Amino acid sequence: MISRGSAPAGARKKRVGVIGSFVWDVLHGRDGRSVPLEEWGGITYSLSALDAALPEDWEIVPLAMVGQDLVERAQLYIHRLRRMAPDAHLIGVPYPNNRVELRYLDDERRTEHLTGGVPGWTWLGLKPVLESAQLDALYINLLSGWELDLETAQLIRAHFRGPIYCDLHMLVMAVQADGLRTPRPLPNVAEWCACFDVMQVNEDEMALMAPDSMALAATAMAAGVSVLGVTLGKRGAAYFAAPGIERLSDLPERRGHNVVLSTSPRGGAGALGALRTELVPGVPPRVDGPGDPTGCGDVWGATHFSRLLAGDKLTDAIAAANRAASRNVEHRGANGLANHLRGELSTT
């Protein structure tokens, strides 16, 4: 079962797989600076938050392809993280790595131009990687928007028996000919929802999927989602939970090689009643000025899932995620972020 304590010395650590894209960011106007900055972005924010928030008996296994131009640098980055599995290895592919140019309009809004050519996973390519990783849980952050197509996500759901968390992120964004990302409504919303146990969206993403939060929650829960989190920037986050869901251990049973959850049908713990919802207030960052909002949603989601894997209740996990997102604003970039989130001195 998912343990709430630390593993005994020498015991097998539980493993959370991470699907997402390594992105090299060029940032304009972040925290009022006039000079562009270049640094790691994309899944590095999620990895940093997992590294800081996972309990000691869990380790991280990235399932990621990286362009040959940046794969060695990305390998160096992941092996600086404490919770990274000893056998973690990124897959180099013969394409230029994804790069994003971000221009900040204010402390919560920005434009993005994407270049690069790292492809998404096919099931033929992902299946042996997923099987050999021996995972207990899976965290997905669709940072390019094409890491997985719907068919591949459905096949993951059919074959993987552990809990699956997904931040839909760029799934609701199109890429124009010049690389500019623009919003697009998401077709097949229910079909996408059916692939995940815990799902994360922000307000803008939610608006491209349903008329309002209750409509999206109803669609998601009917499709089998047990928890829907909606991030609200400075206001914090709201969640919707299926009846009977208080912790990750209340999720329906899907027997894997090392995880046994409850025996109820998907979408809840079998209890009758209405969906439960609550707003968990945000935590103001301790900075003078705008700070750095880059990666806040990624830090929020990875912290949320980490604390659920640790056995926390939903409200406690979301409160921890709100605190981590606030701390992220106080730190510039992903380098040294894991240390900062743990309350240690950052290396940057």
Provide the pLDDT for residue 105.
73
Dihedral angle at the C-alpha atoms of 54, 59, 64, 67, nearest 10 degrees? 100
CA gap 30, 170 in Å, rounded: 20
Vertex 294: Cα angle to 293 and 300 (nearest 5) = 80
Provide the pLDDT for residue 231.
97
Dihedral angle at the C-alpha atoms of 210, 214, 220, 225, nearest 10 degrees? 150
CA gap 34, 276 in Å, rounded: 45
Q: State pLDDT tens for residues 123-137.
A: 999 999 999 999 999
Mind listing the pLDDT tens digit of every residue in the chain (348 residues)? 333 344 555 688 999 999 999 999 888 876 555 677 889 999 999 999 999 999 999 999 999 999 999 999 999 999 999 999 999 999 999 999 999 998 877 766 678 888 888 999 999 999 999 999 999 999 999 999 999 999 999 999 999 999 999 999 999 999 898 888 899 999 999 999 999 999 999 999 999 999 999 999 999 999 999 999 999 999 999 999 999 999 999 997 754 433 333 434 455 545 557 889 999 999 998 876 667 888 999 999 999 999 999 999 999 999 999 999 999 999 988 999 999 999 987 665
Nearest to 152 by CA among 124, 187, 185, 131: 124
Q: How far out from the chain centre does Cα 148 lie?
A: 14
CA gap 84, 105 in Å, rounded: 35
Q: Work out the number of other CB atoms within 10 angstroms of the CB of residue 294.
A: 25
CA gap 114, 96 in Å, rounded: 12
Instruction: Please state the φ and ψ torsions of residue 269, each to the nearest 5 degrees.
Output: -100, 20
Provide the pLDDT for residue 31.
58
Provide the pLDDT for residue 108.
64
pTM: 0.90
